Amino acid sequence: MDFKDKVVLITGASSGIGKEAAIQFAKKGSKVILVARRKQKLEQIANDLKKSNIPTLICECDVSDKLQVEKMSKLVLEKYGSIDILVNNAGFAIYGSVFDLTTEEIESQMATNYFGMIYCIKNFLPSMLEKKSGHIVNVASVAASFGLPGIASYCASKFAMLGFSEGLKHELKGTGIGITVVSPIMVRTNFFDHPSFKKCRNTH
């Protein structure tokens, strides 16, 4: 596939897989939209890409917030009309047993990892359907396939992402829009930087 001049939106673009994906798409000549909560980090990446004359747009947005996603998507669609590739990458885990985690900590993972993906798809899918082309990439995890102790709530959010993606894939048949689920195993990122993982490291 030729990525030159394609409009690519990546959530969780301030670090890890999202940041690297942005760099790789930019190298292939795509117009990259960087979405994340940390504006300063996004600005650093955008400045690095500008040195290579790559046009970027940064959007400070917490994907777990439905209204923020609506505002962000409106801004993007006003500028570009539509996007070609949506990469739902934003996600995090809090380590701890179901007993130890608060209900709010469990809900927060589902809010970002699962509902964040849905909010983005709901806002960008209509314009893709209108032009009968586009691709959605959902970054899940090997934890979408089997449950693991200590990250049960994270696994649940990724199981949900996988099930939603499979159902949506059938619905999109014949529309010209594709969907891909990526399930990484272990990638060297700041995923384990959440303070809760100190407990995990201390037990091994």
What is the set of active-site residues?
154
Distances (CA, A) of 140 to 26, 51, 136: 22, 31, 12
CA 1 – CA 113 distance, rounded (Å): 28
Stretch (H or E) spanning 9:
strand 7-11
Strand partners, 180: 137
Residue with the two structure tokens 């996603």:
69
Query: Hey, which bits of 37-133 come out as E strands?
Result: 56-60, 85-88
Q: Please work out, in degrees rounded to the nearest 5, the angle formed at the alpha carbon of residue 141 by the alpha carbons of 22 and 66.
A: 65
CA 118 – CA 92 distance, rounded (Å): 16
SS3 category, 146: coil
Stretch (H or E) spanning 8:
strand 7-11
Amino acid at 139: V
